[in-house]
Structure 1
Amino acid sequence: MKLLNLTAALFLGGVLQAQNPLPAIHPQPQEVTLSTNRMKAPHGFTLSGMQHPDEDAMRLIRQTLSITDNSEALPLKITSLEDRTPELKRSGAYLLVITPEEIDIAISDSRGLFYAAQTLQQLAQTDGQGNTTLPLGVIKDYPDVAYRGTVEGFYGDPWSHTDRIEQLRFYGKMKMNTYIYGPKDDPYHSSPNWRKPYPEKEAAQIKDLVKEAAANKVDFVWAIHPGLDIKWTDEDRMNVLNKFGMMYDLGVRSFAVFFDDISGEGAKADKQADLLNFLQKEFIEKKEGVSPLIMCPTEYNRAWAGSDYLDVLGRTLDPAIHVMWTGNSVIHDITLEGQEWVNKRIQRPSYVWWNFPVSDYCRDHLLMGPSYGLDPNAAHAMSGFVANPMERAEASKVALYGVADYAWNMKAYNPESDFVEACRYVLPEAPEAFRTFCENNCDPGPNGHRYRRDESIRYAESAEAFLHDFRQHNYNADAADRMNRLFAEITAAPAAIETSRNKALIDEIKPWLMQFHLLGKAGQKAIRTVETGQGEDRAATWQSYLSLTSLLDSMRTIDQTYNQNPYQKGVKVGSRVLTPFVQEIHSGVGSNLLFADQTDAATQMSKASILTDIEQLKYQPLKEGKDQIGYNRLNEVLRIEPGQSFGLTWELQKEATSFNFSLPKSENSGRVFEWSADGRQWTTIADIPTDQARFKLEKLAPEARYIRMRNATDKQMQIYLYEFAVTTKEDTSIDPVRLMYDKNLESVNTLTAGSRITIDKEKDGSLELYLSGSPCSQVVVEGAPLKGKVKQVLYSGPANYIKLKKEALESVKALELYNAGSSPVNIHEIN
């Protein structure tokens, strides 16, 4: 901000020396000149100028300033803008001038007054006498993008009515003017009920939302999604028109038509354009007070734009209709080059639908990092900018705060500093703790869209420095100190965050707060374990390793207990840097304890994985439960070229008990399901009907370790991948004794109380036993002597790390481990 040179004003009675720094204004205004000097009006302000100014804006002004008829009150003048430069003609533009004698607000429209009132609220401070003070200066402000806000367009649980009301109030504060209602799981927005009126309860809620949106100067845009089952007939054309009429009667004045994530007949560009042009002519242009129509195309990103679809829209669609666009792929940064590419095709500036912080493809993660990857020079190349948020409305505010700032003033937008302000805004009670939480919960993890976000960036370098030395069997004390401080902050952050009065936010993120606390403790324990391992006390290292294992087990329990949605189950935190940091240490310490770099091939356990040659699926993470593996649901249409396939492979030590799928649009004789024992020789599964989109096969061949669906036609198949899963069980033919010698500390053979087991004895050398049990556990290692019958007790004590030296073993011919306690003992490894 510039400082206004108002030295002379210091001698005027109404001017104060500033005691506090100038407040930050969000979104940042286009032109700001403020003084450190402040004005006050002890007798309040009296209105002048415009008759009957907007009531919603005046409500905000009265919350900030005392409006009276006192003869000594200073004037607050509201007028229409005389400066009619193109920028100041935009909806929401205003000019705010604060002098010692008065406040002048010139506006383009009622929205401009509302936004000026929001700015006044941010500028106002209270002095020691309880007077409201304002900095002297001038603010000239207007938005870069005409339509700014959100599209509730995610899959999964829609926002609640309370969520939406609170969001609309938040948008008003952040000068966002658009909310597009398009929840994918609303059956009256999409199939099967888009032709029908809303039930009474839902209709009343929409009326409430329209009213609340208007009070916050937000356009409530109701979207219809008819493409899954629309018929290109006069009857269905009238069905869409009539549904718009029903929504108009509920108060809706802004409309959109979505044709995203469909295939087949509904995806034809010429038919879509005909319908939209019909709606433009017969509804938009005829109804009073209706905003421009918005459409979301089927080919809504560059990666899918392989036909003339966009060109057809560009040539035939009415120029007044906005066309939405997600970027170079479904989830992508927004670039000027990408905008210019699509704008040439559709012959108009596209309306950006940015798929962030939406998490319907990674529901086990929170995306609470900064909003970045947005071109600061693209304002002229877009007609609107809306973000698709998470199903967690309050948690979405961190990213949406940045979206609001970007769309209002792109050149001034700084993602990093804005993120800090967002954390302070969303959780003012503990902003630093909340920032620690958010900056370590940014990344979606591996996903089919290959869209990743920076995470833990303040500590990523220290984490890598520590791991680099750890891999060389060294201990980096400086990096350890930095990482320990971070993990201590992480451990403490959840308790500080939970002091917030925003209980809705806490409820949304509670499982992640629990997991974050455990991650902090696990991180500290991991570093301590490495430090302990630098010494000669292997028993202490083993105990520290077991403590770390226990913490990771607790994290696994939370992951398998909370947020068990049908798609991406679980609770992941710090998944890009910090959790892998802890996991690598845990794995590395285990390897160091065993002095083993590789596992015996005869006992090596294989892993479950996805099996596909379809690019769209190659980066999809595997959905893996205790006894089931499968694909995560794909929200978009899956395109399978001739000969391509997708499938699963599972562990050699597991046997498949059933296979089930849900693959809408796949019902034809060209799909072939096959199984294999080795991934090379495939056998057709004849028991699956070709006309079923959903099916469960109750039995597979016991030797099957692979299953797939293949496109056996000579044409591309377009289907939906909702479910493709195999249920498994442990192969009981594997001897549990092998688990004691598999060079894997995580696999165990459990010895019950009072039981004995024979231990393999090497001819030469010492022997190490890695055991665990309760604090009161008691084990005895006995040796049968080479001569005589009396057994030798080589060890008696708690279940722990036990080393039997070479000298002690030379006089025995066989070993036996006895559980002399009253609780089970786990044998992790005998080495």
Structure 2
Amino acid sequence: MVLSGRSTRLFVTGLTALSVLVAPAATAAPETAAVPKVWPVPQQVDAGRGALTVPATVGEVLGEHADPAAVAVVEQALRGAGAKRFVPGPAELTVYLGGPATDALGRLGVQGPGGLPSGGYALAADRASGTLALSGADARGTFYAAQTLRQLVTGHRIPQVKVRDWPAMPLRGVIEGFYGAPWSQADRLAQLDFYGRTKQNIYVYSPKDDPFLRARWRDTYPADKLAEIKALVDRGAANHVDFTYALSPGLSICYSDPAETTKLVAKFQSMWDIGVRSFAIPLDDISYTKWNCDADAAKFGTGGAAAGAAQSFLLNAVQKQFIATHPGIDKLQMVPTEYYDLADSGYKTALRTQLDPRVVVEWTGVGVIAPTITADQAKQAHQVFGHDILVWDNYPVNDYITDRLLMGPYVGREPGIAGQLAGVTANPMVQAESSKIAEFTSADFMWNPKAYDPDASWRAALADLGGRAVAPLTVFSENNYAGALDRVPGKPDQDSPVLRPLLDAFWSALDGHGDLLGATWRLDDYLRKLASNPADLRKGMAGNPAFLDEIGPWLDKLGLLGDAGRHAVKMLLAQRFGDNAGAWAERRATAGRYARAQAIVVQTARGTKQPLPCLFVCTPFLDKALSKVDTSFGVPLRPVATTAGLGTFQDNAPSRMVDRDDGTFYWSDWNPPAGSSVGVDLGAVKPVGHVEIKMGNPKSPNDYVHHGVLEYSADGNSWTQAATATDQPVVSADLPAGATARYVRLRVTATQEFWVVVREFSVGTLDNPPLAVTGGPAGNLPAAADGDASTVYTGVSPAPGEALTVTAASARALDRVTVLASDPAPRAEIQVGSGGQWRTVGFLAGAYTSVRTDGRPADGVRLVWRAGSPAPRINEIVPRFR
């Protein structure tokens, strides 16, 4: 496709209008399924023909002990479908709930809930008899039947259907176990309602920053705090969610002191008195090689086995003195100090052989944040700990990456784990409302893992939270998508799964491979959704201010990134078709919005952070786009950081190796295997000189490449060794005279136990030696020719005849001078010179000026300010030497 300059401008600036003209035609919606989708996905659904219409009067036949919460859910659902009144006994539509429902199911030839585990139920809607029957294996099961009915009602109708359903895992829920500000009381109450709706049955109260759980575990709660916990217990009971109280005494307890056990039991008793029936003793994140009292060393000895013996001693005493003496109490849970692997040890042997077999052990999988959990691993965990296993699953928790929201689905867990575990509790984010997306999907998996479809479940979660705003919520969530469960060593985060391929297609088409018009429209359409996401989501979810407050900084940044992206596309197109002035105008718009996005911060438990939506997609795109256009203006290419065989820990992206800031760094998420590498891509083959690689930092002084080789290459395939590095946190080397390279890397030659931190990876190139800036008016002179078009030299109003001069180290043939300025455009003559002799070659003509010279040798360029010129704002003066 060849366009004239005028056509190019129309093409670049008319994308919105173009989208109307070429947008694909709407397709007809698929036929509505006879039975609405139910979440969590039921085990058995048998759809019939037709549907029951809900009349104004509905009869109720309730069991003597019918669950009140189930009755309330049923009545609310039917009122929404048109019921005005409920009367006892049969009617045109009769609801049988509880005991009588079993007989009603039998009359319909439907198998009841007999033999199903706790939470199992049967439900039938029969049009011919006007029967709606809900019966559970227990009260919880009847409540879950009501939750299924709630989702089956559509308009004024209920489809004819038979459902027999049960949970695959006994325990399914959430553990509030993160570090940082605990959830508010309102957050927790809303969460407990949500767990009931999604058929989860356990909530573990274990916020690390509740002082009465850890540092002050011996102290009783003040009356107001105790009342708050009781309110949670009561709300949990109304939603059939067991409130588990988790007391963590490991920071200070003396295991061998009977008085300590008495205090722990007394604390538990105070919880029992307000209705708590489930208890846990987490002993995670403590030292088990240092005792809190000398008596423990005398009684148990030292080492991991001694710690296991001491913990077993305490837990067995609690089991005997408290758990065994309270009928109706749930099994005691504990979190071991070694909670994250399968390697046997003296500690685990002690738990396996000495801990009361009735105690349930919590385990996070293989790793604190396990990318996968397999059925075989779950089976091994049961064997190595010798107890029933409850997984404490560290997703979507973000207390270790507080600058990110993890809003993707629950993945990486094999369905077969259901047969090996007591259950799973997901550890959520600090952001309670935002956690509901992942919690919805984990609940779906726990209930019926064999039918679990992560993408379908995720989209249902978005609809559940977003309601009518599901479209903008989807856009926001897919750009805050990737989490630790998507990551494996050497594989990048899979963030922004929709935007990523759109960008790939656009870059390919821009290079001449594909339909540029179509790729541009599709990308711009999506970027437009990003740009409007803050307004769209705030309008659509105005009824959930807590959610909007949680995501505010991420939302605002995503909108600015989308806006910057749209300008970046126009910038690239203008550059592609030769409209350099238009490209420079769009470049300034891109950089301005990008800078505003980067300036947004959020206060977290780990300090002030930049929120990081679209981290591994938006930022690289904008950086690449700016670099590509800057190169077309003659600004030297800036190196791009590269890694091979390494992932990224938290937000410490590879780009931080080349940001000219020693205070930031790239950090791998794994110890580097032999053959992995860190390096830079210079963008083109260049003459290269000095290389310096600064690794490690004060917090991780051993995190560097301990055994490696420094190599360079022109093509990325054939490498030349320049130096070896052995136990050097800073590698400094001069490449041989005449060396040229595009790629420079430090390759790991031996496996090591430490990760890798790279603060700066700098490569000196000989084709673009530094330029000196002198003259005036006064201001930050170096910014006028520092090789970075984003920095701006700003001076005061110049005096006529005053000059700003850029000088090279030696005279070279000069072909062109480009001046990139910011509005208002200054007025000046452009002069080139050699040996102090100057000649005028042109005048500044707006924000973008590029003038040809005659190729004669020159060692300097200067701008001679004209009368009336506004104060100069110069982004870059670019002399193009041969």
Q: Matched residues in 2 for 1:391 and 1:595: separation? A: 44
Q: Assess if the C-alpha contact under 8 Å between 2:828 and 2:863 holds in 1.
A: no
Correspondence for 1:648:
none
Aligned 8 A contact 2:401 2:650 in 1: no
Aligned AA (1:255): F
TM-aligned CA deviation for residue 76 of structure 1 = 2.8
1:447 and 1:619 in contact (8 A); partners too: no
Which stretch shifts more, 460-469 or 58-67? 460-469
Partner SS state of residue 865, structure 2 = strand
User: Can you list the C-alpha shifts for 1:408-458, whole angstroms capped at 9, x where unaligned?
Assistant: 111111111111111111011221221121112112599999896533323
* 1:199-214 superposed matches below 5 A: 199-214=222-237
Question: Displacement of 1:323 after TM fit?
Answer: 1.0
1:771·1:825 contact (CA, 8 Å) conserved in 2? no
Output aligned runs, 1:656-667, within 5 Å.
none
Q: Which residue of 2 aligns with 1:753?
A: 797
Could you report, residue by residue, the CA deviation over 1:554-581 in whole angstroms, capped at 9, with x for unpaired residues? 11112xx334553471111111223322
Alpha carbons of 1:449 and 1:57: their partners in 2 closer, same or farther (altered >3 Å)? farther
Instruction: Tell whether the 8 Å contact from 1:353 to 1:385 is kept in structure 2 after alignment.
Output: yes
Aligned to 1:317: 355
Task: Tell me: CA distance 1:822–1:239, structure 2 relative to 1, closer, same or farther (3 Å).
Answer: farther
Q: Which residue of 2 aligns with 1:806?
A: 853
Contact 1:294 1:322 in 2 (8 A): yes
Shift of 1:41: 5.2
Mark the CA change 1:770 to 1:356 in structure 2 (over 3 Å): closer, same or farther: farther
1:810 is displaced (CA, Å) by 8.4
Output the amino acid matched with 1:756.
A
Whether the 8 Å CA contact 2:830–2:844 is kept in 1: the answer is yes
Q: 1:309 to 1:178 in 2, by over 3 A?
A: same
State the partner residue of 1:248. 272
- Alignment partners' CA distance in 2, 1:211 and 1:256: 19
Matches within 5 A, 1:505-544: 505-544=547-586
- Quote the residue 2:614 is aligned against: 574
Provide the rounded CA distance (Å) in 2 between the counterparts of 1:225 and 1:633: 32
Residue in structure 2 matched with residue 12 of structure 1 by the alignment: none
The equivalent position to 2:144 in structure 1, one of 115, 118, 121, is 115
**Partner SS state of residue 768, structure 1:** strand
1:629 aligns with 2:663: yes
- How far 1:291 moved relative to its partner? 1.1
The Cα of 1:777 is off from its aligned counterpart by: 4.0
In structure 2, distance between residues paired with 1:493 and 1:573: 12
Flag the 1:93–1:632 CA change in 2: closer, same or farther, 3 A.
farther
Aligned to 1:464: 504
2:815 aligned to which of 766, 778, 786: 766
What is the aligned partner in structure 2 of residue 55 from structure 1?
68
**Residues 364-417 of structure 1 deviation map (CA, whole Å, 9 limit, x = unaligned):** 111111222221222101111111111111111111111111111111111111
Instruction: From 527, 537, 546, give the equivalent of 1:497.
Output: 537
Distance in structure 2 (CA, Å) of the matches to 1:348 and 1:787: 86
User: 1:274-312 deviations in whole A, cap 9, x for unaligned?
Assistant: 21111111111112321111111111112x846333233
Look up the match of 1:697. none
Cα shift at 1:51 = 0.8
Q: Is the 8 A contact 1:359 1:390 kept in 2?
A: yes
Deviates more, 1:162-171 or 1:244-253: 244-253
Match of 1:328 in 2: 366
**C-alpha spacing 1:45/1:526, structure 2 compared with 1 (3 Å):** same
Q: Secondary structure at the match of 2:246?
A: strand
1:402 — aligned with what? 441
CA distance in 1, matches of 2:54, 2:568: 60
Checking the alignment, whether the CA contact within 8 Å between 2:66 and 2:98 is kept in structure 1 is no
Match of 1:347 in 2: 386
Residue of structure 2 in register with 1:40 after alignment = 53
Distance 2:497 2:389 in 1: 33
Deviations 1:328-363 (CA, angstroms, capped at 9, x unpaired): 111122221221221221224421111111111211
| Structure 2 residue aligned with 1:455 | 495
2:77 to 37, 47, 64: 64
Does the aligned pair in 2 maintain the 1:39–1:99 contact within 8 Å? Answer: yes
TM superposition score normalised by structure 2: 0.73
Contiguous gaps of at least 5 residues in structure 2: 1-30, 79-84, 104-109, 292-303, 672-689, 702-727, 734-752, 761-771, 774-779
Alignment coverage as a number of residue pairs? 719
Is it true that 1:279 corresponds to 2:328 in the alignment? no
Aligned to 1:76: 95
Q: Structure 1: state its 5+ residue gaps.
A: 1-17, 128-132, 600-605, 640-651, 664-675, 682-715, 718-724, 727-733
Distance 2:837 2:416 in 1: 90
How far, CA to CA, are the matches of 1:540 and 1:159 in structure 2?
Answer: 50
Q: Which residue of 2 aligns with 1:98?
A: 125
Residues 467/515 of structure 1: CA separation in 2 closer, same or farther (3 Å cut)? same
Superposed CA deviations along residues 67-95 of structure 1, whole A, max 9, x for unmatched, are 31366454433345699999844111111
Match of 2:712 in 1: none
In the TM superposition, what are the counterparts of 1:208-247 in structure 2 within 5 Å? Answer: 208-234=231-257, 235-247=259-271
CA contact (8 A) 2:57 2:92 kept: yes
> Shift in Å at residue 473 of structure 1?
10
Residue 322 (structure 1) shift: 1.1
Q: CA deviation at 1:273?
A: 1.6
Question: What amino acid sits opposite 1:226 in the alignment?
Answer: P
Asked whether 1:821 is paired with 2:869, we answer yes
Identity of aligned residues (%): 29
Question: Are 1:154 and 2:154 an aligned pair?
Answer: no
Contact 1:475 1:531 in 2 (8 A): no
Secondary structure, counterpart of 1:187 in structure 2: coil
Preserved CA contact (<8 Å) 1:87 1:142: no
Give the whole-Å Cα distance in 1 for the aligned partners of 2:837 and 2:448.
90
Q: Deviations over 1:303-328 (max 9, x none)?
A: x8463332332222222211111111
Match of 1:265 among 290, 295, 301: 290
Note if contact 1:157-1:185 (Cα within 8 Å) is conserved in structure 2. yes
Q: Which residue of 2 aligns with 1:647?
A: none
CA contact (8 A) 2:821 2:875 kept: yes
Amino acid in the other structure paired with 1:794: G
Q: Do the aligned partners of 2:784 and 2:874 also contact (CA within 8 Å) in 1?
A: no
- Which whole-Å CA distance do the structure 2 matches of 1:623 and 1:269 have between them? 44
Deviation at 1:487, TM superposition (A): 1.0
Matched letter for residue 124 of structure 2 = V
SS state at 1:90 partner: coil
Residue 26 of structure 1, CA deviation? 1.0
On the 8 A contact 1:465/1:479 being kept in 2, the answer is yes
> Could you list the per-position Cα deviations for residues 184-214 of structure 1 after superposition, in whole angstroms to 9, with x for gaps in the alignment?
1111111x21111122222111011111111
Does the aligned pair in 2 maintain the 1:364–1:563 contact within 8 Å?
no
For residues 118 and 623 of structure 1, the distance between their equivalents in structure 2, rounded to whole angstroms, comes to 48
Query: Normalising by structure 1, what TM-score?
Result: 0.77
The whole-number CA distance in structure 2 between the counterparts of 1:46 and 1:816 is: 90
Give the secondary structure class of the aligned counterpart of 1:105.
strand
Deviation at 1:157, TM superposition (A): 1.5
In the TM superposition, what whole-angstrom CA distance separates every residue of 1:685-732 from its partner, at most 9, and x where no partner exists? xxxxxxxxxxxxxxxxxxxxxxxxxxxxxxx99xxxxxxx99xxxxxx
Pair 1:187-2:211 in alignment: yes
Alpha-carbon offset, residue 775 of structure 1: 3.0
Q: 1:475 to 1:746 in 2, by over 3 A?
A: farther
